[in-house]
Structure 1
């Protein structure tokens, strides 16, 4: 079955795996998903990720992080969807939980966190919120 929104599928798989207290989750890979996984790693939401090569589509394996049995990721929300894209200029970039969470922004310089985009004065498409 074809997935109409691969990023929402990516976020849902991570959300479901963390609620089920799984140590890792396998997701079909794409360039954007790998960049989001890199942001999750840099912001200390996951331990690490690896790319498993195969014949069709590579697999992105994410090792989830837990702090005292509680998932490091308490919430994920898709903001910009295929049917409704949400773009914000640099001055109007959202703050997730008053700065405690992270917003992933797709800019002309690649995927950035809201803090990075704000410091570089770059706006873009708001992909998702992570907290």
Structure 2
């Protein structure tokens, strides 16, 4: 049994990017789809699709590469884990690599990037950091 499905998704994305794969598949859930949509809107992945087939639904995440197959994702870190939840106020949201990366937060208005949370002055659970 998997205890942290978000960490599993982030690990699959990290491993696929390091191996220079075009896409990766993860079991689908609403929170994973929301994280993937934020990564897409921030320009870290090219596309995300929900695919149905035999068995449970899956999210197909298409990775984004630049020149010389340089991945758009250099690193991913899970911050708040099931064993150690991390909550931040809007004025304490960390800047990832001086604004070159993003933090993803779970707020009372749903998942959002650190920029949106600061703009709306909303704190919440710090899900992960991507750079």
Under a length normalisation based on structure 2, what TM-score does the superposition of the two structures give? 0.97
Q: Distance in 2 between matches of 1:129 and 1:66?
A: 19
Q: Distance in 2 between matches of 1:56 and 1:25?
A: 17
Unmatched tracts of structure 2, length 5 or more = none
Under a length normalisation based on structure 1, what TM-score does the superposition of the two structures give? 0.97
Secondary structure class of the residue paired with 1:3 = coil
Matched with 1:96 is 96
Tell me how far 1:56 sits from its aligned partner: 4.0
Give the alignment's Cα RMSD to 1 decimal: 0.9
Q: How many residue pairs end up in the alignment?
A: 130
Query: Runs of 4 or more off by more than 4 Å in structure 1?
Result: none
Matched with 1:6 is 5
Q: Distance in 1 between matches of 2:47 and 2:112?
A: 18
Matched with 1:53 is 52
For each residue in 1:22-78, what CA deviation from the matched residue of structure 2 results, as whole angstroms up to 9, or x when unmatched? 000010010000000100100011110110124642100011000111100000000
Unmatched tracts of structure 1, length 5 or more = none
Q: Distance in 1 between matches of 2:111 and 2:54?
A: 27
More deviation in 3-12 or 47-56? 47-56
Matched with 1:42 is 41
More deviation in 50-59 or 98-107? 50-59
